[in-house]
A and B are shown apart, each in its own frame.
Chain A
Amino acid sequence: MAIDTYLIGNDGNFSMSIGGTTQGVFKVRSFAATLARPVAELTSFGDTGRRKRLGMLDVSGTLNAVFGVDVTGSTNSAYWIFSDQSYSSTAANDKRPQVTLTLYDGTGTADAKLVADCVFSQFAFNSAKDGDTTCTVNFENASGTAPVVTWLV
């Protein structure tokens, strides 16, 4: 298929859900994700070139985000920030975030995106009196299943 559109950052999007419920507690300015497989060296005597196999698919990366609060709220619904983000087969009890990193949102099937059940391993908060309050969030694949990559352009 001939390519007719080359991607820029503004084509992208970010979303995150926990237990199937979309979370809006932070907005993402930029993300960086690395999709990787470990390489196993299998070269042996008799080979005339290196022999390698790839391992399981993994994803990890960083979100640069701005957090928000609900000033009328009374519940601590963002418990996953400080919880162990553990998995539960009961959706309401599942604290593990599902992260969707979109590079191109065609609002249909013509998307380019990566979806993974992750854990947020680190929140690094920054705040300046005369500036803004930002947070760097590190995520890693955590579900035992591979990230789903859709690239239907």
Chain B
Amino acid sequence: MYALSSSSFVLNTKGWLQVLVSGRKMERKIQFLLSVLAVWLVAAACFLFSGYIGAEVVAFILLLTLSVLAMSFDIFPVLLAAVLSALIWDYFFLLPRFNLRVGNTEDKIMLSMYFVIAMINGVLTFKIRQVEKTAREKEEKARSIRLYNTLFNSLSHEFRTPLATIIGAADNLLLNPSPFSEEDQRRLLTGISVASLHLNQQVENLLNLSRLESGMLQLKKNWCDISELVYGTLRRSEEQLKAHTVQVSIPENLPMFRLDYGLMEHVLYNLLSNAARYTPPGSEVVIKAGWVGECIQLIVEDNGPGFPEEEIPRVFDKFYRLKNVPAGGTGLGLSIVKGFVEAHNGNVMLKSRLPSGARFVITIPTEILLIKPAEK
């Protein structure tokens, strides 16, 4: 399930980084506080056991503490911790204790070395993290460039193909009206009509995608009658599904649920339209609705060829299209399904159906309203 979100991660990289950066700034003060606190705590613990361990061991323990701090904190809190720990070590552990004076030459060397090692430790760990961060940013940039390339390829293909049909057919009709038989004319006109409807669906999908990406999507939840939703959507997909057998199974006593009707209609429509497009004529499409606890469950399944097991984790990714399938989709339909379902805090899963076919299971937690039996 979680592997599927990789692409939304990429497109949201910008926002995500911003959150991280502002998080850093807010955390600065806390980082200083925590560094100081950690050094003092560790030193206090060592002090309790100073009867059993020598000053050298304490130095190692303090250095270890610094390393741990350096792994997640900024450089300045770490340097502060380094200075502080050196002073503490000198004051509480090095002889003579409880003052900053250092007795013999050996201890003087040890203290200066401690100080230098602590600094190097902090700086090095911080540098490693910075290199990692740059590498990560580079990788993310490369990924978004790849994604945009896929986007442009997909869009130019999916938009130009129907446009070519429309322009070509219209030119034909305008330039040579006479030589065409009535049947040819009709064919050209049908081509225009089909291509424009297709184009319209692509635009619809892109608009929905941008609604999702903008983060401005606001759910308008209200009580939904699931039969109304399912049959209403089926009616819209009727033309696409006319070569298929459609079965609907909705329990008589299904309660009402609070959902965004418009978005759920898109979700169902995209699933049905996929089933219509990618299963052979005569295939069976089944829509089931039910509820489990506080969740509504919607299932759309078919007995078509199904999805190859290894491609299942990627089908909800934006612009992902199965290998070896006929052209005609943007690779957006399922990512919109996923986006709209997740906007409801629900989830959608794709499973293989036996002996063949695909099964999409949507589960959404929502308020439920049981309906009293109708008045007679």
* A and B bind: no
